[in-house]
Structure 1
């Protein structure tokens, strides 16, 4: 009977609808599950003289509720969020390594310089000298400690990268396996909803680590690409990725490489987009590098300036001072090679670094690219500034207080070199000695006013530019309030008249050409005719503390981007703080965007319990009504049988 068939079809359809609603409810907390709906259609009716008579309902398919656009947007936003949040979290860790206050490196440097005040007041006091050396050792220890903390962070970062790459490879293999299952059953005409949900969830998980681009194939598979165009998954095959060193073999940098057909292709991190690995690589290759260089620049500048000034002094025995800190030794076995050649270089050139001027240091690495054996360009990696060079004309080439030379070999056209002058300065620094008597706080040069002077001239400062100074004293004899002659004039018989300006330095080097040596004198006041001032070797080093005062004066010397030496640590913290705040803001914005897009996606694909509860009631009533139709059909059939039996 037609009415019975209609009832049976309706009963089966509504039973399936009830089952689907129950399945939705049971998977309300299943990650990646997409709400399913039963799609029904009317069974084509039969034509009669009275018109078309309906034959009930049938189920066409179980539809997965999904908006492809929203899903892609949500996945992409989640990937960007993962990159921003990861970088922000690591930047907070890096910022936390540089302690402020009395326990920080800046306070240690200030205490070291201030300790020379007591030595200046009592140059023969061995206790004051011991305290100064102790402060030097403490400063070196804090610099090493800060470097060690960065190395520990680097090591943890490397482990995190390795683990995440392994996870990506596992997930990519799972996507390939799901592709295989989908392709096998793709020809039956129905959508494998659960497999598609599983694959989409795997893709979302991969995008938490690295951003992918998905392209569907006609057989139902999904191909995934990373780094712009490198295939991570092609159909039922996945391609493994790995962590590799960069082209210069820099152990502080990492790259992602993908292997295909026996060949390895290194990916540009700028093309990776979002994902935790992208955030980690950006932090490691940019932020951590800057933190390491800022610390290394400060260490190298402070230690070199202190060493240079200490060498200009005399100890208690009248001997010239040595190094307070171990000096920078670029390229030796105890420091990473600061001028590493690229692995594809074909020339034989080797580069060497030396310090030219610590006050011009910029916290950066440098890349040299040769266009011939002597010419090329230098790129400062911190800001991308490019300068040209020609070793054939100028050797060494000077940039940002560094001298670059080619001691051996000849580079070829296209050869590239990575210069890392500051990366290991803090990790290798130590105090050079610990003997209080060897602390060179006396100046090797002294000045004295003529006993018969009648003017108002006074000595403001007298500092040594070399040690030892010439054994022959130089006497300045004033011929007027604005002119003088020198005893070291080339032609004493016809002395040259020099112009005197109060407050202007008078150099011991004559004529005053670079590099300056001997000493530098500053006088104030107005001399009278015949007044004299004599500069010569210091005869009483035990009673002099001129070099201690000069070391104290380093506190205000412009050193770090024009700031004073004592402000170097504050500048370091400030630069890292700006990066950290910027990254935190970016993470906040991307988190908000990702949350909004995920809300939009789940509004379409997610399970709403209230909605499903309403559907349960709807389908239950329809099921009961369908059963009633069958019951009525049965009653009608029974009545018909009884009538025919009479």
Structure 2
């Protein structure tokens, strides 16, 4: 009987081994499956006077080949990889918006500025003026088109976040259900291998969307936490996530991820708290990369539009009227806040804006616990600017912007207000001037050298600047005080006269204010009279400037007159001084030390740097994740060659066990026959 029992046990044990090997082979392609091995142990022997007689083998357990540390490391690495790859894919889409070539925005800006050359050469040519206005309209259209593409990317990111949230909630519920099943069977003393594999696979998939940490419980369940400490799954219960606009700054277009547990207020999780996962990559892209792209484009639109509008108003149309704005731009940027204060930046005010100082950034005004003191923080680099009260804040020009708050709605303690001055500028850019006669190409002033001049004075430049002394400093008011016209009934004379003395200095006749010294920072009044003359250096008077070259002699004069005076007739129509000033804007350092004509190349470089950085991070994290997954698979994966060898091994052992039963049966039958005689 003992031999029969030994054979039966061996047969059953090897049958289990064959079944387990077949289970491994069947699940070779099953995601998350861990190879299983049969652990056999000897049945305790029977004691006799001759020693212990063996009683065969039995199956101790079905072992799950699994390394907890490698599994968690691989899941965390995959979460980081998913975030980096997602961000790299999205930044590549962002880079496609700012393309180069003839169809790019840079070409449109260049074409617009170059077209002014034909207007300068032929100021009265309506065809040349029409071409220039068409180029301006095309530039504005490409600004809007680029902004629309950014909006489409923003929309797709928001939709992807919503889809991911739905999947995360499904996975969390699935993990909770498996937790319940595992806890229910935990008491039988054996591990439910397939259920554990299923739970680990759900956690791995969950980490593709949002990085998690896991803590095991005594009942076999696992708690899953996101955002550092928020319990997404506890035992058999699961919380939920949702995505919506950030509560911190309503109306700011910033995306926020919220942890929602029944009976409790939602908790906002920013991308910095998430670690990894596709949702973290999407949030970082939406709130940082895409925001910078909008700001770079908006800054360009606002700077170009503001400066060209300003200079257009400095000139005269073909009908002798002052120029009107070329482009429609946003009037102001309103601060987004959950508090009571109402803040704004009056973007339409050229008296306060300085486009050459614009930084492509959002700004946050943070009031202290004793308002209205606080600081303005430039979010692109974290630099702060302090202020003691609202008047102090209003008096400062920060990166060319002036922040203003309504005194009737004072800020509260620790209130934070977000400003996005450039976010919508490109999307709202529209051409306003369509008649070629309304292009203000002419200067509102004329200049003439004295007929009796004996020196070598020559006119090098004449344009309207709109720079005026306000009593304490220089303002870009956009106002030009024209030289006085002849007093009726005289039809000649008038104007502002520069008269030079033997020392090369000059005095003014007919001017209403003192010349400005723009070489000082901040600018001051020029000492005098008499005033120093420097060849090639502009002389700023009454909102216009004149640049002279050469050496004057005593008594030499230069007269600057009002271009619309009857004494000059329609001479102003053949003047293109303001068109030249518009074209010269391309050489002004407008964008982070880049000129207007090179500003788009600088924008492309900044976006390209972000894209390259994101691609490098994705490549690095992909390598790390692949190595860790390979290490995990080396422990848990199924090797078909190995399983085929085990099949042969267990098959032979099974056949031998069956033979043992046959032999035992034969012996038993012979014994019965012998005993029956």
Residue 488 of structure 1: how far off its partner (Å) = 4.4
Alignment of 1:452-601 (within 5 A): 452-466=452-466, 468-472=480-484, 473-488=495-510, 496-509=529-542, 517=543, 519-538=544-563, 539=568, 540-601=571-632
Residue 328 of structure 1: how far off its partner (Å) = 2.8
* Aligned match of 2:284: 282
Contact 1:374 1:392 in 2 (8 A): no
* Aligned match of 1:340: 336
Residue 394 of structure 1: how far off its partner (Å) = 5.0
* Aligned match of 2:653: 622
* Aligned match of 2:226: 226
Contact 1:315 1:541 in 2 (8 A): no
Instruction: Write out the 4+ residue segments of structure 1 that deviate beyond 4 Å after TM superposition.
Output: 488-492
Residue 490 of structure 1: how far off its partner (Å) = 8.7
Partner Cα distance (1:188, 1:220) in 2: 12
Residue 568 of structure 1: how far off its partner (Å) = 1.1
Residue 397 of structure 1: how far off its partner (Å) = 2.9
Alignment of 1:53-64 (within 5 A): 53-64=53-64
Partner Cα distance (2:19, 2:268) in 1: 50
Partner Cα distance (1:223, 1:265) in 2: 19
Partner Cα distance (2:22, 2:35) in 1: 11
* Aligned match of 1:192: 192
* Aligned match of 2:469: none
* Aligned match of 1:334: none
Partner Cα distance (1:134, 1:262) in 2: 58
Q: Which moved more, 1:387-396 or 1:597-606?
A: 387-396
Any idea what SS the aligned residue of 2:102 has? helix
Contact 2:331 2:346 in 1 (8 A): no
Partner Cα distance (2:64, 2:513) in 1: 103
Cα deviation digits, residues 257-289 of structure 1 (max 9, x gap): 111223211113201011000000000000000
Alignment of 1:108-119 (within 5 A): 108-119=108-119
Partner Cα distance (1:258, 1:103) in 2: 44
Partner Cα distance (1:227, 1:496) in 2: 70
Any idea what SS the aligned residue of 2:558 has? strand
Partner Cα distance (1:14, 1:480) in 2: 119
Contact 2:433 2:439 in 1 (8 A): no
Cα deviation digits, residues 568-604 of structure 1 (max 9, x gap): 1111111000000110011011111111111111111
Residue 33 of structure 1: how far off its partner (Å) = 0.8
Any idea what SS the aligned residue of 2:604 has? helix
Residue 612 of structure 1: how far off its partner (Å) = 0.2
Partner Cα distance (1:93, 1:387) in 2: 34
* Aligned match of 1:404: 403
Runs (5+) with no aligned partner, structure 1:
332-337, 510-516
* Aligned match of 1:305: 307
Contact 2:483 2:560 in 1 (8 A): no
Partner Cα distance (1:275, 1:90) in 2: 14
Contact 1:361 1:402 in 2 (8 A): yes
Any idea what SS the aligned residue of 1:263 has? coil
Any idea what SS the aligned residue of 2:621 has? helix
* Aligned match of 1:512: none
Residue 470 of structure 1: how far off its partner (Å) = 2.6
Partner Cα distance (1:273, 1:317) in 2: 63
Partner Cα distance (1:532, 1:93) in 2: 61
Residue 378 of structure 1: how far off its partner (Å) = 1.0
Q: Which moved more, 1:128-137 or 1:369-378?
A: 369-378
Runs (5+) with no aligned partner, structure 2:
467-478, 485-494, 515-527
Which of 346, 356, 361 aligns to 1:359? It is 356
Q: Which moved more, 1:459-468 or 1:182-191?
A: 459-468
Any idea what SS the aligned residue of 1:94 has? helix
Q: How many residues align?
A: 627
Partner Cα distance (1:612, 1:465) in 2: 86
Matched, 1:250 2:220: no
Contact 1:481 1:500 in 2 (8 A): no
Partner Cα distance (2:531, 2:149) in 1: 56
Q: TM-score, normalised by structure 1?
A: 0.95
Q: TM-score, normalised by structure 2?
A: 0.90
Partner Cα distance (1:624, 1:58) in 2: 17
Q: CA RMSD in A?
A: 1.6
Any idea what SS the aligned residue of 1:165 has? helix
Partner Cα distance (2:228, 2:292) in 1: 27
